[in-house]
């Protein structure tokens, strides 16, 4: 029987094990299947390292693994043979493809039940959209940024500090330009009658002030999304 292994990143610790054959009442060596506990007849198979159960079709080791190798059983019951220095393998079965992390080498006298793999969660924060109320994963490591909800496709601010800060900044800058425009209007009225280009400077000051105030309204009205734990 041929066993394969693949090095993948994983998250579980299946243990190695050994098995010892014992004769039944008729003197024929048998062993219990490590998966279904059925008796496996070892007659004529004692030269093999592993045998296949006729009931569940899973493999059970009857000898220690070859030098430099170790046995690992996937939670789907597939028996793998890999290097004893391997730290990551993957189940080759098409309906499993489970990723397994072997961790440090452990000497365990017999097989123990394998624990299910722990799925690796992507880093990020679960955020509740301020528009539609759905939760999505925000991959930025910092708040006070803009996020696009994958559900409603709308932009919102993650946290309220950013829109508040920018709204205040645009109001301040906008009022400064408005005051500059008023000052130019009052101080250069007589000069503007002779040099009409002065009106351009008035228009620029008022226009910049108006643009900043419009941006301030945008940041003041933007929807805010919050981390999911804020509602706990």
CA pair distance 198, 195, nearest whole angstrom: 6
Q: How far is CA 95 from each of CA 56, 69, 76, 91, 118, rounded to the nearest angstrom?
A: 16, 25, 9, 9, 18
Catalytic one among 33, 82, 149, 167? Answer: 82
User: Within 10 Å of residue 105's Cβ, how many Cβ atoms?
Assistant: 11
Q: Are 45 and 51 in contact (CB under 8 A)?
A: yes
Active site residue 82: yes
CA distance linking residue 129 with residue 176, whole number of Å = 35
Going through the chain in order, the beta strands assigned E by DSSP cover 22-23, 29-32, 39-41, 50-52, 59-61, 69-73, 79-83, 88-90, 99-101, 125-128, 135-138, 145-148, 155-158, 224-227
Distance CA 193, CA 198 (A): 9
Residue with tokens 């992507």: 122
Using only the alpha carbons of the chain, give its radius of gyration: 36
User: Among candidates 114, 29, 100, which has minimal Cα distance to 63?
Assistant: 29
Is 223:154 a contact under the CB 8 Å cutoff? yes
Residues marked active site are found at: 82
């Amino acid at each position: 029987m041929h066993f394969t292994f693949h090095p993948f990143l994983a998250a579980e610790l299946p243990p190695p094990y050994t098995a010892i054959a014992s004769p039944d009442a008729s003197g024929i060596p048998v062993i219990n299947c490590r998966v279904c506990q059925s008796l496996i007849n070892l007659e004529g198979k004692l030269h093999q390292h592993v045998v296949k159960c006729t009931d569940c079709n899973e493999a059970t080791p009857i000898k220690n693994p070859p030098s430099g190798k170790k046995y690992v059983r996937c939670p789907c019951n597939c028996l793998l043979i890999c290097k004893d220095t391997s730290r990551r393998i993957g189940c080759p079965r098409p309906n499993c493809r489970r990723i397994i992390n072997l961790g440090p080498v452990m000497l365990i006298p017999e097989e123990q039940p394998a624990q299910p793999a722990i799925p690796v969660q992507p880093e990020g924060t679960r955020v509740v959209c301020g528009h539609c109320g759905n939760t999505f994963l925000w991959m930025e490591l910092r708040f006070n940024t803009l996020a696009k909800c994958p559900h409603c496709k709308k932009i919102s601010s993650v946290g309220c500090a950013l829109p508040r800060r920018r709204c205040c900044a645009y109001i301040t800058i906008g009022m400064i330009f408005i005051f500059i425009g008023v000052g130019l209007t009052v101080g250069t009225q007589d000069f503007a009658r002779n040099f009409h280009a002065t009106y351009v400077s008035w228009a620029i000051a008022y226009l910049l002030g108006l643009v900043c105030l419009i941006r301030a309204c945008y940041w003041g009205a933007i929807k805010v999304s919050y981390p999911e734990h804020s509602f706990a």
